[in-house]
Amino acid sequence: MGEKKAIRKTKTPHTVASICEELHNLGIAKGDTVILHAALGQAGWVCGGDVAIIKAFQKAVTESGNLVMASQSTNMSDPAKWRNPAVPKEWWPTIYEEMPAYNPDETPTFFMGVIPETFRKMANVKRSSHPKYSFCAWGSDSAFITEKHALNFGFGEQSPLARLYELHAKIVLFGVDHNKNTSLHLAEHRAKAFRIQQEKSPIMVGGEKVWQSYDEITSNSEEFIGIGRDYEQKTAHQPTTLAGAPTKIFDMRDLVDYVSGVISE
């Protein structure tokens, strides 16, 4: 929204302490596991910006809990399939040859926003190994969440999403809607109502860069908006605000179970 608009809509600055207090009032407690999807531009004026948002969540759940974010790098993919924009076909050989392999410590997120990009570089944050659909985690179970992320089906049963489901995670949509809610991809897998497509990404294998092929499902995240809002209506879910941004908080298990049932019908 821009800093001027953020200032105009804010009565008093939002801080780490005030946002943490808001989170506690919204039911986010010490020891919770939270997967956060966020758009800082939807918030009011935050003293410290993206770093303050992250620290507020960390303070709220403490190191006995977990903070997780999707850290996707969807540009680490086959240029032959790039759209909006596509690149000229004659560029493909150069891209295959020159694109650096995925490195969890170096590869930036791609169109994920400033909060996940900042989070992935912070102390004690672990990142999973999937070249396109990685997740970052901080907290007591960060290794459990991020380890053993399978290359095939990056949002499936061998992904951080399935580990979050086991941990009874809470989903926080901070300034975003269900089209950004990656947990619903796990519901797609469990519904088994999808087509499989081949993808490939550059990874390191035995010290050499390889364009590794893998299986992934076809998906349209925009369809999640309607499904998610149907769930909200059926459960009388009440949206709220956090640091001035429209915010929704869900029990991951309940939402994933509902959506997988709807998709499989």
C-beta of residue 7 within 8 angstroms of C-beta of residue 45: yes
pLDDT value at 1 more than 80: no
- 85 preceded by cis ω (within 30°)? yes
pLDDT in tens, 41-54: 999 999 999 999 99
Distance of CA 184 to the CA centre of its chain: 11
Burial of 197 (0-12, 13-18, 19+ CB in 10 A): exposed
- Please tell me the total number of residues recorded for the chain in this structure: 265
Could you give the percent of the chain with pLDDT greater than 70?
A: 99
Q: What average pLDDT does the segment 51-80 reach? A: 98
Q: CA–CA separation, 247 vs 263, rounded Å? A: 25
pLDDT in tens, 176-208: 999 999 999 999 999 987 899 999 999 999 999
Q: CA–CA separation, 259 vs 162, rounded Å? A: 15
pLDDT in tens, 30-42: 999 999 999 999 9
Q: Residue 4 has what pLDDT? A: 85
Q: What average pLDDT does the segment 94-113 reach? A: 97
pLDDT band at 8 (very low <50, low <70, confident <90, very high): confident
**H-helix or E-strand spanning residue 80:** none
pLDDT band at 55 (very low <50, low <70, confident <90, very high): very high
pLDDT in tens, 138-185: 999 999 999 999 999 999 999 999 999 999 999 999 999 999 999 999
pLDDT in tens, 209-243: 999 999 999 988 899 999 999 999 999 999 999 99
Q: Residue 265 has what pLDDT? A: 64
Q: Is the dihedral of CA 96, 98, 99, 101 positive or negative?
A: positive
Q: Residue 264 has what pLDDT? A: 76
C-beta of residue 159 within 8 angstroms of C-beta of residue 133: yes
pLDDT value at 92 more than 90: yes
Please give the angle made by the CA atoms of 58, 34 and 217, to the nearest 5 degrees.
Answer: 135
Q: Which two tokens stand for residue 261?
A: 């049932």
